[in-house]
A = this chain, B = another copy of it.
Amino acid sequence: MEPIRVTVWGENRHEQREEHVRRIYPEGMHAAVAAGIREHLDCVVRTATLDEPEHGLTEDVLAATDVLTWWGHAAHGEVADEVAERVRRHVLSGMGLIVLHSGHLSKVFTGLMGTTCTLRWRNAHDRELIWTVDPAHPITAGVPQPVVIDEDEMYGEFFDVPPPDELVLISSFSGGEVFRSGCTWRRGHGRVFYFRPGDQDYPTYHHPDVRRIIANGVRWARPVRPERTLPALRRHETGEF
Known A131-B177, A134-B186, A235-B121: A241·B114 in contact at CB below 8 Å: no
Interface pair A132/B157, CB less than 8 Å apart: yes
Q: Within the complex, which residue of B121, B124, B146, B176 is in contact with A233, where a contact is CB–CB below 8 Å? A: B121
Closest 3 CB pairs of A and B: A160-B231, A114-B114, A118-B233
Bits for A132-146, please: 1 = Cβ < 8 Å to B, else 0: 111111101110011
Q: Which of A133, A142, A225, A237 has the most CB of B within 10 A?
A: A133
Report B-chain residues with C-beta under 8 Å of the C-beta of A84. none
Task: List the B side residues contacting A133 at CB < 8 Å.
Answer: 157-159, 178, 180
Chain B residues whose CB sits within 8 angstroms of the CB of A160 once the complex forms: 92, 188, 231
Interface hub of A92, A114, A136 (most chain B Cβ within 10 A): A136
Least Cβ–Cβ distance between A36 and chain B, in angstroms:
20
Q: Check if A162 sits within 8 Å of B162, measured CB to CB.
A: yes
Q: Does A172 contact B (CB under 8 A)?
A: yes
Residues from chain B with a CB closer than 8 A to the CB of A158 are 131-133, 135, 145, 231
20 further A-B contacts with Cβ under 8 Å, apart from A133-B158, A162-B185, A170-B178, are: A105-B233, A112-B114, A118-B231, A118-B233, A121-B234, A121-B236, A126-B238, A127-B176, A131-B156, A131-B178, A132-B158, A134-B186, A135-B188, A135-B224, A157-B170, A162-B162, A163-B167, A163-B186, A170-B180, A172-B172
> What is the CB-to-nearest-CB distance from A43 to chain B, in angstroms, rounded to a whole number?
15
Interface size on A, residues (CB 8 A): 72
Nearest Cβ distance between residue A26 and chain B, in whole angstroms? 30
Instruction: Tell me, in angstroms, the Cα distance from A140 to B94 when the chains sit together.
Output: 13
Provide 12 A-B residue pairs closer than 8 Å at the C-beta atoms, listed in order of the A residue.
A115-B231, A116-B232, A118-B231, A121-B235, A122-B238, A131-B178, A133-B158, A136-B186, A136-B187, A137-B186, A163-B167, A171-B178
Return chain B residues, CB-CB under 8 Å to A237. Answer: 122
**Is A175 positioned at the interface, with any CB of B under 8 Å from its CB?**
yes
Residue pair B166, A165 in contact (C-beta under 8 Å): yes
**Residues in B neighbouring A80, C-beta threshold 8 A:** none
